[in-house]
Amino acid sequence: MKKAIMIIAAMLTLFGGRAMAQRCLPGMSAVEIKANMADGFYTGKSRDCGYDLGVFYSVFTGS
């Protein structure tokens, strides 16, 4: 039982966070699309909350 609890605790520790391991090769490009909503920022009578949209394009040129 104690061994199972230790394994579960180790798994939660290792997999609980967010890891990014993407390689950046010269000439590589990326597109990121975001949509967010914010409570408490009202845009009109028919809307419940504010929002924003974003599109990002990036190119890695190398060093």
- C-alpha dihedral sign at 12, 18, 23, 28: positive
Q: What is the pLDDT of residues 9-38, one digit of tens each?
A: 887 777 766 656 667 778 888 888 988 777
Report how far apart the first and last C-alpha atoms of the chain are (Å, whole number).
52
* Mode of pairing for the β-strands spanning 29-38 and 50-59: antiparallel
What pTM did the predictor assign? 0.42
Q: Supply the pLDDT for residue 20.
A: 60
